[in-house]
Amino acid sequence: MRSYDVVVIGAGILGLAVSRELLCRFPKMRLGVLDKEPSIGQHQSGHNSGVLHSGIYYAPGSLKAKLCVQGQRELYEYCEQKGIPTDRCGKVIVASNESELPRLENLLQRGTANGVQGLEMIGPERLREIEPHCVGVKAIWSPNTGIVDFNRVNRAYADDVLTAGGEVLPGYGVEKISDRPGRVVLETTAGEVEAQHVIACAGLHADRVARLTGGPPDPRIVPFRGDYWVLRPDRRDLARNLIYPVPDPAFPFLGVHFTRRMDDGSVWLGPNAVLAFAREGYRRLDIRPRDLGEALAFRGFQRLAGKFWQTGLQEMVRDFSKEAFLKSLQVYVPELTMADLLPGPSGVRAQALAADGSLVDDFVFNTQGNRIVHVRNAPSPGATSSMAIAREIANTAVQAFSLS
């Protein structure tokens, strides 16, 4: 049986960042990272927009606000040290009409309160200088927002873990967890593993892993799929870098936007946000009855659906109608045509939901006795914030586990 001081469940960007942080602090620690997939970063960490967020969106004083601003700065520095390319290309957040201006102004105030550097309110002329094909009545220019290939960050974190003496174990899907005297035993698809302590960074399955340990059932994870279209290569000049709408503060998703990619220079358009019929359902017709049944039966989701049924219906229409998707994009870049949009990738976001139907907006970590730490909610900007989140979780673990 493999035996460790600490086992981390999940070899996504957070699981690897936490492992790296612990090994930096405790070089003699025996640490193993378990993941059910055959390789690292297969889900949220490998299906994201690649944006290094600035921290403008999040409520002042929240963990998201604090850790995103810190994490972005640290990740830029880390990538420079590791030779991972980044591009501090900047982003415009565009008000398409006068009714959105109060929300745009509020967003600027939030970003300033959060310590985001260089934010500027700009008019249509300056907007055209930055994005010649974009229209709007006003916009916020966020010059420090950037892009990176997070797959390369994932691999660099994993290399750091291995270099520090940790083990990364793909193909170890956790099926049962038993808290026994002096140790925790994890039954996996590749055999039993024991540890003194466990940190669960299970992403789309965070609530299920918590249930395996007898942890609180809520918040629950409800998966939302986001589909992208991609700009035809010869029309990439329509969006130089990043163009975002003014978000709806009542909804956790940022709306369809234009995102240039670091890896190949392509421009992604989207995503929408619809209920995924499987927690790892990256295609429209991917269905897992257990996943769908759990979501639909959850009272919290029923309440959410009742509150946002109109928004949900609009998202579903846009999911199946290229024409509807195009119209939402033409609000910002009117020159776009149907022929400019090519089928693109998709991702699934693990959205934590409370029993009363409220969307859990901030990062959530909790401890279970002195044996287990759970990461219950860490969606966007989780990747941007990964180094800062890892430090926060490590601090929690040090205290909970009495590490020294």
Instruction: Write the DSSP string, 228-288.
Output: EEEE-GGGGGG-SSEEEEPPPTTSSS--SEEEE-TTT--EEEE---EE-SSTT--STT---
Do 14 and 133 have their domain in common?
Answer: no
Sign of the CA dihedral running 307, 304, 360, 96: negative
Q: How high is the mean pLDDT of the chain?
A: 95
Amino acid at 36: K
Do 392 and 263 have their domain in common?
Answer: no
Give a yes or no: residue 281 inside a domain.
yes
For residue 71, which of 298, 386, 288 has the smallest C-alpha distance? Answer: 386
Give a yes or no: residue 63 inside a domain.
no
pLDDT at 307: 86
Residue 294: pLDDT band (50, 70, 90) is: very high
- For residue 249, pLDDT over 80 is answered with no
Do 370 and 245 have their domain in common?
Answer: no
pTM of the model: 0.96
Cα(230)–Cα(345) distance, rounded to whole angstroms? Answer: 8
Give a yes or no: residue 82 inside a domain.
no
β-strands 86-87, 167-170: how paired?
A: unpaired
Which of 351, 370, 385 represents a domain boundary (last residue)?
A: 351
Residue 250: pLDDT band (50, 70, 90) is: low
Please state the rounded mean pLDDT for residues 340-359. 94
pLDDT digits (tens, 9 = 90+) for 311-320: 787 888 788 8
Do 97 and 115 have their domain in common?
Answer: yes
Do 324 and 248 have their domain in common?
Answer: yes
Judged on CB neighbours under 10 Å (0-12, 13-18, 19+), 309 is exposed
Determine the 3-state secondary structure of 28 from DSSP. Answer: coil
Do 30 and 156 have their domain in common?
Answer: yes
Do 235 and 304 have their domain in common?
Answer: yes
| From 5-9, 160-164, 324-328, the region with the lowest mean pLDDT | 324-328
- For residue 211, pLDDT over 90 is answered with yes
Do 269 and 370 have their domain in common?
Answer: no
Do 176 and 322 have their domain in common?
Answer: no
Percent of the chain with pLDDT over 70: 99
Cα(364)–Cα(360) distance, rounded to whole angstroms? Answer: 8
- For residue 309, pLDDT over 80 is answered with no
Do 275 and 345 have their domain in common?
Answer: yes
Give a yes or no: residue 78 inside a domain.
no
For residue 289, whether the previous peptide bond is cis, meaning omega lies within 30 degrees of 0, is no
What is the CB neighbour count within 10 angstroms for residue 290?
A: 9
Domain range for 296: 91-145+224-351
Please state the rounded mean pLDDT for residues 267-285. 93
- For residue 84, pLDDT over 70 is answered with yes
What is the CB neighbour count within 10 angstroms for residue 27?
A: 9
Do 338 and 264 have their domain in common?
Answer: yes
Give a yes or no: residue 69 inside a domain.
no
pLDDT digits (tens, 9 = 90+) for 157-199: 999 999 999 999 999 999 999 989 889 999 999 999 999 999 9
Do 244 and 305 have their domain in common?
Answer: yes
For residue 95, which of 117, 121, 56 has the smallest C-alpha distance? Answer: 121
Please state the rounded mean pLDDT for residues 41-61. 95
